[in-house]
């Protein structure tokens, strides 16, 4: 296959998050934005190192379970992936994807875990409590648009004024804002030229309280009086109530919502939401689950997995606004939350105070660095990291606490599967796992895994009697033996590599040694370099190198 060539094929399966596999002439091609069972025409976009990628040009035959999308913006808008299959089909697809990733991560391990399937979202439409809309144009030099990026485009914007996954109040705010700034003739910020004014519109709403926060993000290239825009929003016939209208300035070159400075145009700079009987104050840029009702399912499941934490110190790492920490606080001795976003930490502290939780402590900073400053040792650890997972060095520090159990919540199961490699290499194993669909009609899903440290299969109690008499070891003999005792030298990876190279004439990678040790159930604590390798896909050594490594392990009496 060559770049630019066009082929036809059947999508056999879809791997997380949106990787559609097509087999053509014995080769696997990966395309996006398809569903299993579709016959498509596609062009080859990349052929590199044995991997081939393509782009769907046309759907020739629909999948048997395919249906008509119910959102008029699909598939032009890039916000949703599975508007053309039923919700039950989506659930089955996501459940299958997560199960395959976890099974692959546990491949070669000597344990079985319980997979409890997928839990559906309590609501499927209008569930999003946060939307980040972008200003731009739908076609080059076209009229001002406000909405989501067009599928596959970095520039074009689709005005999603009838979005089916966003709250209806969001659509009303979007339409009113777009009309207002079109009439004013204000330019949007052009990412390549770094010129213009209008950048983003962020809208957040609480399901339980109905409070709404609207944030206009602009550059500082113009001075504009936004009081008229603010008053216009306040007059909209919304179902919810506007708690605050803000103006955030952002001159970052990156196409991200960044807070350089914020001005309150109306009300306050936060809104309040309620989850599981607790009240949370949420600021514009702090993390909070985008599906409030789904979050209750997620955290109830997490709480049931964790069980009794009475008299235990719990670490909630990557704690956001402290939601999990405060859910666990009433049934724990103490909870310490660590979060890198200072704004979220301040909100978490205020939330704990409002909820009357005196046993919560929140610290601002990178988990990798903050853990070195905490003198207390946890009894239980909760991990809820961002999409990229836990940094390997931070994960090693977490593992070194040696807690018997920990809970990992992930919004990206591929990152979870990668981190499981290191966790399992250091003695942890999955007990229970499930997923929660927090994002209907998209390719994303939350996963929850309860991990426990391996325990000995059995314990032998040995009674030794000291002193004089028949069957007893004389004390002077014990002292003499102690003088002669020499501890067994530590066998390093370098020693194993040198032995293999000297005897067999070839070199072995530390990751190969790690793989063999793992297959034999040996600990990995003495192999920082090999452990570091495990954040990458596993490396399966050739048979002759496996035998050579085993021979070295026998020589050094490791096995």
CA distances to 175, 183, 186, 225, 363 from 196, rounded to whole Å, are 21, 16, 8, 16, 38
Which residues on neighbouring strands pair with residue 158, listed in sequence order?
148
**Is 20 part of the annotated catalytic residue set?**
no
DSSP letters of 2-37? -TT-EEEEEEEEEETTTEEEEEETTEEEEESS--TT
**In this structure, what are the phi and psi dihedrals at residue 19, rounded to the nearest 5 degrees?**
-100, 105
Fill in the DSSP letter of residue 372.
G
Of 171, 411, 426, 434, the catalytic one is 411
Fill in the DSSP letter of residue 236.
S
Please check whether residue 433 is in contact with residue 447, taking contact to mean a CB–CB distance below 8 angstroms.
yes
CA distances to 462, 466, 467, 482, 517 from 478, rounded to whole Å, are 17, 9, 10, 6, 35
3-state secondary structure of 451: strand
Q: From CA 258, how far away is CA 248, in angstroms rounded?
A: 8
| C-alpha torsion 353→358→364→370, nearest 10 | -170
Cα–Cα nearest to 361, from 381, 339, 383: 339
Q: Which two three-digit tokens encode residue 298?
A: 């997620």
Task: Give helix 543-555 / helix 510-519 axis angle, nearest 10°.
Answer: 80
Q: Where are the beta strands (DSSP E) in 25-76?
A: 27-31, 39-48, 51-61
CA distances to 81, 217, 221, 321 from 260, rounded to whole Å, are 33, 10, 14, 20
3-state secondary structure of 199: strand
Q: Where are the beta strands (DSSP E) in 185-331?
A: 198-205, 211-218, 241-249, 261-267, 271-275, 278-282, 309-317
CA distances to 493, 500, 516 from 503, rounded to whole Å, are 16, 5, 18
3-state secondary structure of 384: coil
Please give, one letter per residue, the 3-state secondary structure of 311-362.
EEEEEEECCCCCHHHHHHHHHEEEEEEEECCHHHHHHHHHHHHHCCCCCEEE
Q: From CA 82, how far away is CA 481, in angstroms rounded?
A: 72
Which residues on neighbouring strands pair with residue 13, listed in sequence order?
21
CA distances to 21, 167, 289, 294, 438 from 125, rounded to whole Å, are 29, 8, 16, 12, 11
Q: Which two three-digit tokens encode residue 269?
A: 């700079």
Give the pairing of strands 446-453 and 428-436: antiparallel
What positions carry a catalytic annotation?
A: 411
């Amino acid at each position: 296959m060559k770049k630019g060539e066009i082929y036809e094929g059947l999508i056999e399966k879809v791997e997380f998050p949106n990787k559609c596999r097509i087999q053509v002439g014995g080769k696997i091609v990966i395309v996006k934005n398809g569903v299993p069972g579709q016959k498509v025409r596609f062009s080859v976009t990349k052929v590199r190192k044995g991997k081939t990628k393509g782009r769907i040009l046309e759907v020739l035959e629909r999948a048997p379970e395919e249906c008509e999308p119910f959102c008029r913006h699909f598939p032009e808008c890039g916000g949703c992936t599975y508007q053309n299959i039923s919700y039950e089909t989506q659930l089955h697809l996501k459940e299958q994807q997560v199960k395959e990733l976890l099974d692959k991560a546990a491949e070669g391990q000597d344990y079985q875990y319980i997979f409890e399937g997928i839990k559906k979202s309590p609501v499927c439409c209008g569930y999003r409590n946060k939307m980040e809309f972008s200003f731009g144009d739908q076609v080059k030099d076209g009229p001002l648009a406000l909405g989501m990026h067009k599928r596959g485009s970095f520039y074009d914007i689709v005005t999603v004024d009838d979005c089916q996954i966003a709250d209806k109040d969001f659509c009303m705010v979007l339409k009113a804002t777009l009309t207002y700034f079109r009439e004013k003739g204000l330019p949007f910020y052009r990412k390549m030229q770094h010129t213009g004014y209008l950048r983003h519109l962020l809208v957040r709403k609480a399901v339980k309280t109905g409070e709404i926060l609207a944030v206009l993000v602009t550059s500082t290239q113009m001075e504009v009086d936004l009081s008229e825009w603010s008053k216009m929003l306040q007059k909209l016939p919304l179902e919810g109530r506007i708690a605050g209208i803000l103006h955030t300035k952002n001159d970052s070159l990156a196409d991200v919502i960044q807070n350089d400075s914020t001005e309150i145009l109306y009300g306050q700079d936060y809104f309040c939401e309620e989850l599981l009987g607790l009240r949370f104050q949420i600021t514009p840029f702090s993390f909070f689950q985008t599906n409030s009702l789904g979050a209750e399912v997620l955290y109830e499941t997490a709480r049931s997995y964790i069980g009794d934490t009475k008299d235990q110190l719990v670490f909630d790492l990557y704690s956001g606004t402290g939601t999990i920490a405060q859910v666990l606080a009433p049934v724990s001795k103490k909870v310490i939350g660590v979060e890198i976003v200072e704004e979220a930490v301040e909100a978490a502290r205020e939330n704990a105070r409002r909820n009357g939780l005196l046993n919560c402590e929140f610290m601002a900073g990178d988990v990798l660095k903050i853990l070195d400053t905490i003198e207390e040792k946890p009894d239980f650890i909760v991990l809820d990291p961002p999409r990229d997972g836990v940094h390997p060095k931070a994960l090693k520090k977490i593992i070194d606490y040696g807690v018997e159990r920990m809970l990992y919540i992930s919004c990206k199961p591929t990152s979870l599967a990668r981190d499981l490699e290191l966790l399992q290499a250091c003695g942890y194993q999955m007990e229970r796992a499930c997923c929660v669909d927090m994002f209907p009609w998209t390719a994303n899903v939350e996963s929850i895994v309860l991990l426990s440290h391996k325990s000995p299969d059995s314990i032998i109690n040995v009674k030794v009697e000291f002193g004089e008499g028949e069957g007893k070891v004389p004390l002077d003999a014990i002292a003499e033996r102690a003088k002669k005792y020499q501890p067994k030298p530590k066998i390093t990876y370098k020693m194993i590599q040198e032995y293999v190279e000297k005897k067999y004439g070839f070199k072995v990678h530390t990751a190969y040694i790690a793989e063999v040790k793992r297959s034999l159930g040996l600990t990995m604590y003495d192999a920082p370099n090999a452990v570091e390798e495990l954040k990458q896909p596993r490396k399966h050594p050739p048979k002759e190198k496996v035998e050579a490594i085993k021979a070295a392990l026998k020589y050094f009496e490791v096995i």
